[in-house]
A and B are shown apart, each in its own frame.
Chain A
Amino acid sequence: MRIVISNSSKVPIYEQIKKEIIRGIGNKELNEGDALPSIRVLAKDIRISVMTIKKAYDELEKEGYIVTQAGKGSFVAPQNIELLREQKQREIEKYMDNIIEIAKQYNISKREILDLMEFMYGSD
């Protein structure tokens, strides 16, 4: 699993940890039932305070990404793939709003945007 924390980012550190773990779940690096490192072990490995890690884990649990079993640790929860997709789709819609807004401001046609999208998506 990859967890990269930036010091200069405006995103709070616990939020960054959350994102990294959600990303891991999203791209199947972490699968249902996989054990996450314990709070203290992760704190040591990424040199972040126990409280910050705990905050991240608590929120991940509240949002249904992980489950914590007393004495055993935290595990990746069964993921509702549909729900996750829906959330992501909404996220994409938001970006598209931005794209459309800028395009309209500067008279960039729908055709041009679609061509650009075609080009970028394809080259990935």
Chain B
Amino acid sequence: MEIEIKDLEKSYDNFSLKIPELKIPKGMIVGLIGENGAGKTTLIKCLLNIITNYKGIIKIEGKTKEEIDFNDIGVVLDNMFYPDVLKVKDLVTIMTSIYNNFSKEVFYQYLEKFNLPKDKQIKTLSKGMKKKLELASALAHKPKLLILDEATSGLDPVVRREVLDIFLEFMQQEDHTILISTHITSELERIADKIIFMNEGRIILNEEGDTLIEDYGVIRCGEKEYKMIDKEDIIRCYKNKYDYEILVKDKNRLENKYKDMVIDKISLDELMVLMIKGE
């Protein structure tokens, strides 16, 4: 499913979300990255109609908020909202009453895949198991769009890899879409088709995932070299005590231009830090 946003605005006392235009095509895994408080969750809440009094237009698969069929959207939010005295299997009753197309069979299949016990109370599950449970119930109503807010934070690397494989399995359908917000970016690096980078309620970067990794780079150097670099080649610069970290784009061209300098590959984490902390 595709998402279209136009002139979206939502203001609070000390924070405002402002997105003039954004398109998320179907068939893609889109990573929404940024610091805590950058506006990722606010954006997601607008998309899910949890926040309704925003200005502007949000369309999902061409439908406005009044028309969107939320049966088609699977959601995993940061905070689990299931009552934890319930047993895992009790969720079937709840989810069936919320989603028309919730399938007990699919749900049980995922429970098995994730090694989740049906008869245990939710409160006895570990954090990782709870996340997997949420994912199982989100997938069990056969959505076409998955919206995940910090769904992999707090999970250990082994479980994160499992979850990633579930995402990639889900993406085997060409019209499926995943929007995942996270501040743990390492696992997104290779699988995200698109990265949207938010800061202070604005989108400051919107690039194809591999462009970001192959095109952007970081030059680490001393003051002398720093002065030799043309200002227009510098996206951001961060001065440490003993060296400079300089964020640049168009790595291949600059490698020829500044032959004596090493331009390192940049991780999304470093990119995020330099974009925010650099000048």
Contacts and interface: CB of A to CB of B under 8 A. Distances in A.
Contacts, number: 51
Contact of A55 (B165, B192, B210): B210
A28 B168 CA distance: 30
A40 B210 contact: no
A48 B190 contact: yes
Interface residues of B, number: 21
A111 interface: no
Interface of A: 7-8, 10, 12-14, 40-41, 43-44, 47-52, 55
B214 A50 contact: no
A14 B210 CA distance: 9
Contacts of B172: 40-41, 44
Interface of B: 27-29, 164-165, 168-169, 171-172, 174, 190-194, 208-210, 213-214, 265
Contacts of B171: 40, 43-44, 50
Contact of B214 (A8, A13, A41, A48): A13
A47 B191 contact: yes
A52 B192 CA distance: 9
Contacts of B174: 40
Given A13-B190, A40-B174, A47-B190, A52 B169 contact: no
B165 A51 contact: no
Contact of A44 (B28, B169, B208, B213): B169
Given A44-B169, A48-B191, A51-B193, 7 more contacts: A40-B172, A43-B168, A43-B171, A43-B191, A44-B172, A50-B171, A50-B193
A51 B168 contact: no
